[in-house]
A = this chain, B = another copy of it.
Amino acid sequence: MDIRQLVFLGASVLAAPAPGPAMADDMLYVQQAEIEIDPAQLDAYRAAVTEQIETAIRVEPGVLALYAVSEQENPARVKVFEIYRDTDAYRSHLETAHFKKYKATVENMVRSLKLVRTTPIMLGTKPK
């Protein structure tokens, strides 16, 4: 499996459960994880985070988007842009078996982790 391949899990609806033109920003839980990976273990890290994201998107209704990217100038610096339906969805995510497995798998690959909580200004995505 090419772990760097990009898997789009179908069309996206970020506005749930009631898609509409406007949505209070405090309904969503949006943050960015800034992660420094041991460069020697980067391939293994990519595989682990890919598996975690695939599973979370598939089985957790409140996980709306998880975008994991490497900085091109320093691929060991990974960012994950995360959108959850609300705070409860985020808390629930942290308790899932697949997230706990990911955390255990990457424990010795991650040199530092910073979670940056954010307030959405405008989340624009292409309409169908």
Contacts and interface: CB of A to CB of B under 8 A. Distances in A.
Interface in A64-89: 64-73, 75, 78-79, 81, 83
A6 B125 CA distance: 12
Nearest to A128: B11
Bin chain A's interface residue count: 35 or more
Interface of A: 3-16, 19-25, 27-28, 30, 32, 46, 49-50, 53-54, 56-58, 63-73, 75, 78-79, 81, 83, 116-128
Given A6-B22, A73-B116, 18 more contacts: A6-B25, A6-B120, A7-B21, A7-B22, A9-B21, A11-B11, A11-B13, A12-B14, A12-B127, A46-B121, A50-B122, A53-B122, A65-B124, A67-B120, A68-B123, A69-B123, A70-B119, A75-B119
